[in-house]
């Protein structure tokens, strides 16, 4: 029954995806990655890395809208769980995201392209952080479409992190720096942590407890 | 009458605000009106009973299903229809597509039967003619009916309606009353509203809430009876009245403790509601 329902949901969920926001993030990312080719310039490796990181961030910003659901309140009490719907949305976007990233990487000239595995780890971490942040916003607030707020927060946090994080953390190191390798261990940790947060925010609670109960003070009482 | 929905000791806090304070109630088949001032806890109670919001403590059952486990909650949701206070839609969906989407979420997996059911509920809310129209092109009243159709799809035994007539013009409100009255035949409907006329016209039971507490539970006649002997008319506003207003006939209608020799008049449900909330509105807003 559940599998049949999920299969039949594919069409409506596909139509309900925030295609504009996802498309805008993807397009902006591709434009960034394609800049050297568009401008017929030969970027240095540092610029190529910066452009790919910018592309990954642009796509992640688009992803913050993935879980936006204007019909959230109407569908709040249906037997098909919110987690299933969220997972379906993610599954529908995942192949597109993989294709998009492949295209973005290939747009960077091979001779200046950063190590693909490492930069892919960074992009994956950014994407999962975006989804975890959206899932957290949905879990802790009553907003149906928190994407915009989450995108602004993610953008501000990324900028602040790039400017303020100690160099030895290596999150924004270049391949020639000694912090590159430890930096990617940190990216792996960020990816794992975000995945845990995302998974924790998926299920709808039966009782309000601990962190989530105290955070619910952020939810304003309803008017009635 | 057989109890279909019962709650015991439901409590919920938002920070320092006590939205529900040990709420206990019993509902049976038919339409039960939930009255109360803003901030009374009506919407919160509805959300909890609709399993859209977990309570901090307390228990409830819906048609013999206990939502205190994940499986139990799924069972409750299978017999539930919920119309929230501010329904949202995917604007590019047509009315049919949206209700069909909700029907899939309600596990109606047989495509042919589901489409039949979607057509049935859209006909029930008088939207057959516009079922192929995009929701963004529908009027506010029509959108509200789409949301009601979404709540009704699957023929749920328990229907939770949160202020469904807010923002509707008088004609649409009358139409909605008809729909709710029809929906109340053979199922349990809990209707939150600010309109005492809605309750007087539709409900066989009424619950009054204030400050997260149930202040009254009974029939509309019993609520009206609370004001018996406490409503009088006078040529001037009686300063001792708890509430008083000039009527269309040019005399004042006063509610409260009447002075000796006052000209008592027949109370209404609204008078009973005001008497029930006497002093509590200030307590709630303080």
Contact criterion met (CB below 8 Å) for B118 and B150: no
Residues of A in contact with B101 (CB under 8 A): 9, 12, 16, 71
**Are the beta carbons of A224 and B147 separated by less than 8 Å?**
no
Checking if the pLDDT of B1 tops 90, the result is: no
Structural domain containing residue A19? 2-223
**Are the beta carbons of A74 and B39 separated by less than 8 Å?**
no
Tens-place pLDDT, residues A129-145:
999 999 999 999 989 99
- Name the domain count of chain A: 1
Residue of A nearest to B109 (CA): A5
**Are the beta carbons of A80 and B163 separated by less than 8 Å?**
no
CA distance B47 to B160: 9
pLDDT of residue B286: 34
| Average pLDDT of the residues in B130-140 | 94
Checking if the pLDDT of A124 tops 90, the result is: yes
Contact criterion met (CB below 8 Å) for A12 and B100: yes
Residues of B in contact with A205 (CB under 8 A): 54
* Cα dihedral B249/B252/B256/B258 (nearest 10): -100
Structure pTM? 0.88
Sign of torsion over alpha carbons B211, B214, B220, B222? negative
Checking if the pLDDT of B167 tops 80, the result is: no
**Are the beta carbons of A74 and B54 separated by less than 8 Å?**
no
Spell out which chain A residues touch chain B, with contact meaning CB-CB distance below 8 angstroms: 1-2, 4-5, 8-9, 12, 15-16, 69-81, 85, 144, 203-208, 213, 216-217, 219-224
CA distance B109 to A9: 10
Alpha helices (runs of H) in A45-146, residue ranges in sequence order: 45-63, 82-107, 116-140
Element (H, E) at B81: strand B80-83
Report B:164-193 residues touching A (Cβ under 8 A): 192
- Percentage of chain A with pLDDT > 70? 90
Q: Which of B42, B54, B56 sits opposite A224 (nearest CB)?
A: B42
Contact criterion met (CB below 8 Å) for B46 and B10: no
pLDDT of residue B281: 44
| Average pLDDT of the residues in A1-6 | 66
CA distance B188 to B103: 20
Contact criterion met (CB below 8 Å) for A167 and A179: yes
Checking if the pLDDT of B11 tops 90, the result is: yes
CA distance B64 to B167: 35
User: What angle is formed at CA A122 by the lines to CA A120 and CA A125, rounded to 5 degrees?
Assistant: 110
| Average pLDDT of the residues in A61-86 | 95
Least confident of A189-198, B162-171, B228-237: B162-171
Residue B188: strand pairing partners:
B30, B158
Least confident of A45-59, A110-124, B168-182: B168-182
Residues of B in contact with A12 (CB under 8 A): 93, 97, 100-101, 104
Give the three-state DSSP class for B68: coil
Residue B28: strand pairing partners:
B3
Chain B nearest-CA distance from A188, in A, is: 33
**Are the beta carbons of B43 and A85 separated by less than 8 Å?**
no
- Among candidate residues A172, A179, A174, the one with its CA nearest the CA of residue A125: A172
Residues of B in contact with A79 (CB under 8 A): 74, 77-78, 105-107
CB atoms within 10 A of CB A41: 11
**Are the beta carbons of B107 and A1 separated by less than 8 Å?**
yes
Alpha helices (runs of H) in A17-81, residue ranges in sequence order: 19-38, 45-63
CA distance A196 to A193: 5
């Amino acid at each position: 029954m559940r599998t049949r329902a999920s299969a039949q949901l594919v069409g409506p969920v596909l139509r309900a995806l925030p295609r504009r926001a996802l498309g805008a993030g993807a397009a902006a990312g591709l434009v960034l990655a394609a800049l050297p080719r568009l401008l017929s310039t030969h970027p240095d490796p540092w610029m190529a890395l910066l452009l790919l990181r910018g592309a990954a961030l642009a796509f992640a910003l688009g992803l913050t809208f993935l879980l936006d659901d204007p019909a959230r309140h109407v569908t709040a009490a249906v037997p098909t769980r919110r987690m299933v719907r969220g997972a379906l949305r993610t599954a529908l976007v995942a192949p597109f995201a993989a294709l998009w990233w492949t295209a973005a990487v290939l747009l960077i000239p091979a001779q200046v392209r950063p190590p693909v595995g490492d930069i892919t780890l960074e992009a994956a971490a950014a994407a999962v952080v975006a989804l975890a942040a959206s899932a957290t916003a949905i879990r802790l607030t009553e907003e149906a479409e928190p994407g915009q707020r989450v995108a602004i927060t993610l953008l501000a946090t990324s900028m602040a992190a790039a400017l303020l994080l100690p160099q030895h953390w290596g999150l924004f190191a270049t391949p020639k720096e000694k912090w590159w390798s430890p930096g990617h261990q940190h990216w792996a940790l960020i990816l794992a942590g975000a995945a845990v947060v995302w998974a924790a925010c998926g299920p709808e609670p039966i009782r309000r407890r601990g962190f989530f109960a105290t955070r619910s003070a952020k939810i304003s009482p309803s008017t009635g | 009458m057989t109890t279909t929905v019962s709650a015991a000791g439901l409590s919920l806090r938002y920070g320092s605000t006590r939205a529900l304070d040990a709420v206990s109630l019993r509902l049976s088949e038919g339409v039960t009106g939930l009255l109360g001032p803003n901030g009374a806890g009506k919407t919160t109670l509805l959300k909890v009973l609709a399993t859209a919001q977990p309570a901090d403590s307390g228990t409830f059952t819906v048609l013999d299903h206990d939502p205190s486990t994940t499986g139990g909650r799924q069972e409750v949701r299978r017999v539930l229809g919920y119309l929230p206070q501010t329904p949202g839609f995917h604007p590019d969906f047509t009315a049919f597509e949206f209700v069909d989407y909700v029907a899939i979420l309600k596990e109606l997996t047989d495509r042919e039967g589901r489409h039949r059911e979607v057509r049935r509920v859209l006909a029930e809310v008088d939207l057959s003619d516009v079922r192929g129209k995009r929701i963004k092109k529908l009027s506010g009243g029509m959108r509200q009916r789409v949301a009601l159709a979404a709540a009704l799809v699957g023929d749920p035994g328990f229907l939770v309606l949160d202020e469904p007539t807010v923002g509707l013009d008088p004609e649409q409100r009358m139409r909605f009353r008809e729909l709710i009255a029809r929906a109340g035949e053979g199922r349990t409907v809990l209707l939150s509203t600010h309109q005492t006329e809605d309750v007087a016209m539709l409900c066989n039971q009424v619950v009054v809430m204030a400050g997260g507490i149930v202040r009254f539970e009974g029939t509309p006649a019993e609520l009206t009876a609370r004001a018996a002997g406490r409503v009088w008319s006078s040529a001037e506003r009686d300063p001792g009245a708890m509430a008083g207003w000039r009527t269309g006939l040019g005399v004042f209608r006063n509610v409260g403790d009447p002075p000796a020799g006052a000209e008592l008049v027949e109370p209404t449900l609204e008078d009973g509601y005001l008497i029930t909330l006497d002093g509590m509105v200030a307590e709630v807003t303080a």
